[in-house]
Structure 1
Amino acid sequence: MAYRDKTPIYNLKAVVRETGLKADTLRAWERRYGVPTPQRTESGHRLYSQYDIDVLKWLVDRQNEGLSISRAVELLHRLEAEGKNPFDVNAALAAQRHDLRPQEGHHIQIEVERGRLDEGGTVASMREAWIDACLNFDELRAEQLLAQAFALFPAETVCLDLIQKGLREIGLGWYEGKVTVQQEHFASALAIRRMEALLASTPAPTRPGRIMVACPPEEEHTFVPLLISLLLRRRGWDVVYLGANVPLRSLEATLATVRPSLVVLTAQQLYTAASLLEMAETLFRERVPLAFGGLVFTEVPELPEVIPGHYLGDTLENVVNQIEHLMTHLRPVPARRQVSYDYKEALDHFCSRQASIEAELWARMEDVIPKRLLASANQSFGRNIIAALTLGDMDFLNADIDWVEGLLVNHHQMPPEALEHYLNAYYDACVHHLGEPGFVVLEWLSRLLGREMHGRARQQQVKQPIAIRKEE
């Protein structure tokens, strides 16, 4: 591969100018696909290399040739895994032709309404057709595509490579402002309905042991736990699926009734990961093994360390194999890191002062930010600060800040400066109402904003948010 400099020297503005991509698109690609991979300065700002810029231009070229961004990234990773130079145009074109070729033994002609759809025969091409049907609210066509896919390919392949990846692309389109909430909800409803129907039709279990699958309190995203339940049942496991937003109360009574050998929990957001931690601690006290995963653990790589349980990894493809392995090695495991006393103290203090902080924000910001948006920002930011304090590290919030910035720009047409203005006002309000017991919140906000600490907290050393616990 031709040498390309990987020294991180370019800031975000320079990369936007060089590639023509929007800043929020770059952040979304980084979060969803792991491309590019910028370094971070001490203050948290991204720095890119010439290699990152060249990769981004390469991806744009593939999009211009008709590939979706997800397929372009897959092509990039495949070429790199095969030791080929992705910047070799001939190699890239050959790989694209191979990717679009029909699979051996299959000749697919999908009849849709009056016409016939022959899109090359790959799951990827069928996924694109399914996404198109969902975005056009064409329920009949979307269902026919799924029926044909399940007839031609293994159910695991259809669920993971067509439905799950299709929903992920639609979700990215919503985030970027290209897909409406209605379109996203329509696709999700179709997918969940199909998963529930498949789950209901699975045969009786044939393997010993019982697995309980659920979402923690406030977690409403059910596709992933539904998919895990379905794949486990298809392998003969006895699965009790509890669904969304399972409350912490009565958990002990449920465990006594169900008597699971293993509990599987999933969380997609930071504040539901904090709820998952509470459930995990209850399970650990009851000596019930836990396996867990979800999008938030992928976006915040250090987060699994504070959960007492077995982390299932960053991809769905190997989750069932990992769960089956755990069923033969059942044992509860403690968290690798323990939340410090400073954080527990700061959590209680912040909760007691949150109303005062938000009242000051209303007084300062109601003429600057629309009231509806300000109310939403206060609710979201407040609960995520509480989540970060519960989980023991304010830096867990960093990924969420990037996501919110893109959301404001894409959905509310607000300039990026609006978020910085809001965060500065939040910091000032915290200084007035939190004081020294809220040091960990003030310290994080000051680093995020590049501001000096106020008052006595300025003299303190930065405290370690989490104390490492020795393995038992």
Structure 2
Amino acid sequence: MDVASPSPSSSTGAPAALWAIADVERETGIGKDTLRVWERRYGFPVPRRDERGDRLYDADQLGRLRLIRRLLDAGHRPGRVVGLPREALEALAASAVVRGSVLLKRSPDDGGAPSGPAVDELAPWMAWLRHDQTLRLREALRESVRTRGLAQTVEAVVAPLCVAVGHAWLRGEIGVYQEHLFTEAVQATLREAIARTDEANPAGPRPPRVLLTTAPGEQHQLGLLMAECFLALEGCDRLPLGACTPVAEIIDASARTGADVVALSYSDYASRREVIDTVAQLREGLAATVELWIGGAGAVRDPRRLPPGVVVLRRAADAAAQVRLWRQRRGLA
């Protein structure tokens, strides 16, 4: 990290570090133009100026900006967090961590995610991630698929690891790049396993044809990929569209491809209003014969407010159960 210039001496006599705006952009991932807009709109950050008039940021502001970046990536909006004091930002981050810890401890009996390894059993996996041993992490995931099978790997390893990684990221224990490395390792491993599952199915894909995507603004795809694992194990015909597909495009794709089901995933950071609004638009726009399945922590938060005709999947494995029900209703079991 480049220190832009020393500030006046601190109480210890040592100059405090200051960062130029380019350094702050590199450290936080927040663009220079965005930082300038926030100054005018929210009154933060409040940089000092050097003799040339260039902005300089102290360590406290850099720390607050890092917290803000984590909260924005976790789904908070700039207007709600940018002007908050550090204590409030830390409290918001802590509440997200607590929420993740609760999810990690839930069992199928209480309607949450399936119970997986205890937190201490996740320690080696998290250590590999913290020490950038991505290949070791990927090897362990592949070994789990070989020994446990794909379904158990998703439920007992990947799902709790996702919560633990989110917990560590919100607390600043791992960097954004490490969270991305984890995501890539999981995605690569699960896609390899899905491909092998498809190859082992000589009969080829069977109905229902399931279109998988996320709504606009929902970047998180791991939940969708975990559900796809169970669809592959059931031999389903699948059409993954990736993330952030506009509602009108989802409706159009469903009609053009002859999808029987549209499946969406909402992370814990999706707002209730966003979930309800997009699901209502989809249910209204999709053909009545097309089922709408939604899953993820954001989907199960307030199911009673969802429109009729929407199936809520409380865990990835529920996708397999819904496939069997779909086939039974049509005499295809």
> Taking every aligned residue pair, what percent have the same amino acid on both sides?
18
Structure with bigger strand share is 2
Task: Assess if the C-alpha contact under 8 Å between 1:128 and 1:166 holds in 2.
Answer: no
1:129 and 2:124 aligned:
yes
Query: What do you get for the CA RMSD once the two structures are aligned?
Result: 3.4
Q: Secondary structure at the match of 2:206?
A: coil
CA distance in 1, matches of 2:172, 2:139: 28
CA distance in 2, matches of 1:313, 1:230: 14
Deviation string, structure 1 residues 50-70 (Cα, Å, up to 9, x no partner):
xxxxxxxxxxxxxxxxxxxx4
CA distance in 1, matches of 2:265, 2:327: 18
Deviation string, structure 1 residues 335-378 (Cα, Å, up to 9, x no partner):
xxxxxxxxxxxxxxxxxxxxxxxxxxxxxxxxxxxxxxxxxxxx
Which amino acid in the other structure matches residue 31 of structure 1? R
Partner of 1:278: 281
Partner of 1:350: none
Partner of 1:32: 100
Partner of 1:254: 253
CA distance in 2, matches of 1:161, 1:317: 11
Task: Assess if the C-alpha contact under 8 Å between 2:266 and 2:295 holds in 1.
Answer: yes
Partner of 1:42: none
Partner of 2:61: none
Deviation string, structure 1 residues 102-137 (Cα, Å, up to 9, x no partner):
xxxxxxxxxxxxxxxxxxxx7977643222212221
Alignment counterpart, residue 167 of structure 1, candidates 157, 162, 168: 162
Alignment counterpart, residue 295 of structure 1, candidates 294, 297, 301: 297
Partner of 2:175: 180
Cα distance, 1:171 vs structure 2: 0.3
CA distance in 1, matches of 2:99, 2:120: 24
Q: Secondary structure at the match of 1:218?
A: coil
Alignment counterpart, residue 151 of structure 2, candidates 144, 147, 156: 156
Compute the TM-score of the two structures, normalised by the length of structure 2. 0.59
Cα distance, 1:320 vs structure 2: 2.2
Alignment of 1:298-447 (within 5 A): 298=300, 300-302=301-303, 304-329=304-329
Which amino acid in the other structure matches residue 321 of structure 2? N
Which of 1 and 2 has greater Rg? 1
Partner of 2:54: none
Q: Secondary structure at the match of 1:243?
A: coil
Deviation string, structure 1 residues 265-321 (Cα, Å, up to 9, x no partner):
1122126523343223211x55422111222123x325x522343332433343421
Compute the TM-score of the two structures, normalised by the length of structure 1. 0.43
Alignment of 1:149-228 (within 5 A): 149-203=144-198, 204=201, 205-228=204-227
CA distance in 2, matches of 1:315, 1:157: 13
Which amino acid in the other structure matches residue 301 of structure 1? D
Deviation string, structure 1 residues 374-414 (Cα, Å, up to 9, x no partner):
xxxxxxxxxxxxxxxxxxxxxxxxxxxxxxxxxxxxxxxxx
Task: Assess if the C-alpha contact under 8 Å between 1:262 and 1:291 holds in 2.
Answer: yes
- CA change 1:30–1:319 in 2 (3 A) is farther
Structure with bigger helix share is 1
- CA change 1:314–1:206 in 2 (3 A) is closer
Partner of 1:386: none
Cα distance, 1:259 vs structure 2: 0.8
Partner of 2:232: 233
Count of aligned pairs: 229
